[in-house]
Structure 1
């Protein structure tokens, strides 16, 4: 498996697998338009870095994530010195193969390379239990002060990993 920046040729596969992954774990039930946001990979790529995990043998896109810095369009909770990643998704057919871990590790390496002190993310309360376990295994800890709710009934829990770097992003 190789993790690399997504190119325009990857965008349709990224859109499909992201929506499929969010649908598979129930996160799109009752959502007002979030599937459209997830599928708009070109806009995400214009305002952040979309990374893909690709099967090295077949070139198939297995998963993706959007890496952002504070103050950018898709940054929801990062502050000075923090990076953030969002919309981590693994094709349901590829889950359990380490794709999510590879994408998280790529985001952590990117943040460290930029001199960020920490990486923050949010997970929906009651959903994405395997993802939350992955984040906790990587050292992310719950930061209740970063919890927030973009819509009634959508409660997001803030998680943070201190990278030990000094210096702003």
Structure 2
């Protein structure tokens, strides 16, 4: 998408990030029956304190269109990342901006960040049965199933591990 810039979130962005993240997860049906996950998604300051929250911003209007949290192994929000791996979580695009390349730009920013840090791979998890656009986005970028990283944080919430090998040099 032209006119889009990905940058680190500033504290002034946190309310917009909270709103759009919860809205995106609700629109996808991912908060049905969840126990407090909406509150975790909305707590952007805690995420920013233990990882890097990135935002995709419309360069013309300044509107925050999407966000993602980039983390390294051993940090509070890392669920899958092992040694040498980076992970991103809570990728969300404002429902009104979906289909405009915002998600792809955020994924690319995370891959770029992991590469700069010398990571060997990027890992993520997606909810089993998650909407096809998300699966297509990750597949197009080269993420592949990594069944050894599958897990379930709650009964009935099955998460599938995906991994992207990063090339050196």
TM-score (norm 2): 0.97
Task: Report the Cα distance in structure 2 between the residues aligned to 1:78 and 1:28, rounded to whole angstroms.
Answer: 24
Displaced runs of 4 or more, over 2 A: none
Aligned CA RMSD, in angstroms, stands at 0.8
Structure 1, unaligned runs of 5 or more: none
SS of corresponding position for 1:126: coil
Structure 2 counterpart of 1:62: 65
Instruction: Give secondary structure in 1 for the equivalent of 2:15.
Output: helix
Kept in 2: contact 1:116–1:165 (CA 8 A): no
Structure 2 residue aligned with 1:126: 129
Number of equivalenced pairs: 166
SS in 2 for 1:111: helix
C-alpha offsets along residues 38-80 of structure 1, whole Å, 9 cap, x if unaligned?
Answer: 0000000000000000000000000000000000000000000
SS in 2 for 1:115: coil
Partner of 2:81: 78
3-state SS of the aligned residue for 1:85?
strand
Unaligned runs of 5+ in 2: none
What is the TM-score normalised by the length of structure 1?
0.97
